[in-house]
Amino acid sequence: MSAPRGLPRGLLAGLAGIALLALVTWLLPQLVSNYLVRVVIVMCINAVLVASMGLANGFTGVFSLGHVGFVAVGAYVSGILSLSAHAKGAYLPDLPHWLAGITLGFLPSTLVAGLVCVALAFLVGAPLMRLSGYFVAVATLGFLIIVNVVLINAVDFTRGARTFTGVPLETSLPWAVGWLAVAVAVIARVVYSPVGRRYRAVREDTIAAQAIGLEVLPVRLSAFMLGAFFAGVGGSLYGHYLGSFSPAAFYLAYTFTLISMLVIGGMQSLTGALVGVVAVSVASEVLRNLERGLDLGIFTVPPLYGASQVVLGFILILVMIFRPSGIMGDRELTLGPLVKPRQEGPGREIKR
């Protein structure tokens, strides 16, 4: 086994990472257009969401379709909290007094959103994480539907199906990149630790997992709750990026997008989740530009609105047929010795 890793190296990697992120967030806006910066921000938010979805779905093998339900809760909870008193009076006049009086900053409202989602994940997960296979998928889809219906009907808090607006536009590039870094660091540490080993054991065989002393429910629940935290955080980031949104923004279409990113990248790998986000985002940006139509001089491509969704669907089908475990499978990309995952990595030491 390799020598124990000292602190200096980890510290060095951390500092190098922070320096790199600072450089990127400072440099990028100078180099590329505003449009591209916005694309990168959305990519970072999606990466937080997909990586956290992979925690339960990929590492413990509980295929949840409810992640976007937590994203919605995160967006609305943080949005209500960070709305100014003036905006609350204008848009949410029927808010209870104790809530109407509170206005939190971006960071605290994001953290509260994450914690509310953790508590909700505990309530939802305690009964549902006992289930397996498609039972979980169907039941968590039910959760997504319930969240949607509640948001539409809790008019005093959400303005119902109408647009919730007035959320301060706080999600800048540094915030998005910073939260992504935190999410990746936390998830990587957990997944490549003895805790993550428990996740994989439960995923591989629940009976064998019990035979080595693991209770399936708490193991899955801890992954589900940690994933929900970052879903809430991502929801807050998204809400504070859009400024105005409605329950429809956090429903089936978004679920499909995030799941295709996860599945295309590879569910059982953290870098797979990130690769999936980049691949799908780049593909759909390109396609979105193409679907407006092209004039190539000799011939013109007529506008084909909606084509990007169709192509994305096809890509997903092709990946499922030819590479069902996604681009990365269960392997991780590493950036050399600086950020090498620890011992626990299944991918690193597997010889095929």
Partner 1 sequence: MSEAARSQAPGSMDSAPLLETSGLTKSFRSLVALRDQAIVVRPGEIVGVIGPNGSGKSTFFNLVSGFLRPDSGSVRFDGQPIERRSAAEIVRLGIARTFQGTRLFKALSVAENVRAAAQLRHPSSMLDALVGTPRLRRAARRVDAITGELLGLVGLTGRAGVRAGDLPYGDQRRLELVRALATQPRLLMLDEPAAGMDAAETRELMDLVDRIRRRFGVAVIVVEHDMDLIMNLCERIQVLAHGQTIFEGAPAEVQAHPKVREVYLGHA
- Is 8 a binding residue for partner 1 by CB under 8 A? The answer is no
The answer to whether 329 and 348 have CB atoms below 8 angstroms apart is no
Please give the size of the binding site for partner 1, defined by CB under 8 A. Answer: 35
Give the nearest distance from C-beta 310 to partner 1 in angstroms. 33
Those residues with Cβ within 8 angstroms of residue 326's Cβ, 6 or more apart along the chain or in another chain: 262, 263, 264, 265, 266, 267, 268, 269, 272, 276, 319
The answer to whether 151 and 71 have CB atoms below 8 angstroms apart is no
Smaller CB separation from partner 1, 29 or 329: 329
The answer to whether 199 and 187 have CB atoms below 8 angstroms apart is no
Amino acid at position 12, single letter = L
Give the nearest distance from C-beta 22 to partner 1 in angstroms. 23
Give the nearest distance from C-beta 14 to partner 1 in angstroms. 11
Site string (268-287) toward partner 1, x via CB under 8 A: --------------------
DSSP 4: P
Q: How many CB atoms lie within 10 A of CB 293?
A: 12
Smaller CB separation from partner 1, 160 or 346: 346
Site for partner 1 in 225-264 (CB under 8 A): 226
- Is 186 a binding residue for partner 1 by CB under 8 A? The answer is yes
Smaller CB separation from partner 1, 208 or 310: 208
- Is 14 a binding residue for partner 1 by CB under 8 A? The answer is no
235 burial via Cβ count (<10 Å: 0-12, 13-18, 19+): buried
> Contact with partner 1 (CB under 8 A): which of 103, 193, 309, 334?
193
Give the nearest distance from C-beta 1 to partner 1 in angstroms. 5
> Contact with partner 1 (CB under 8 A): which of 189, 282, 292, 317?
189
Matching residue, tokens 């955080």? 233
The answer to whether 118 and 224 have CB atoms below 8 angstroms apart is no
Distances (CA, A) of 60 to 51, 168, 204, 339: 13, 36, 8, 24
> Contact with partner 1 (CB under 8 A): which of 170, 291, 330, 332?
330
Q: How many CA atoms lie within 13 A of 279 on its CB side?
A: 24
- Is 212 a binding residue for partner 1 by CB under 8 A? The answer is yes
- Is 3 a binding residue for partner 1 by CB under 8 A? The answer is no
> Contact with partner 1 (CB under 8 A): which of 200, 220, 240, 331?
200
Contact positions toward partner 1, by CB under 8 A? 1, 4, 10, 186, 189-190, 193-198, 200-201, 204-205, 207-215, 222, 226, 330, 343-344, 346, 349-352
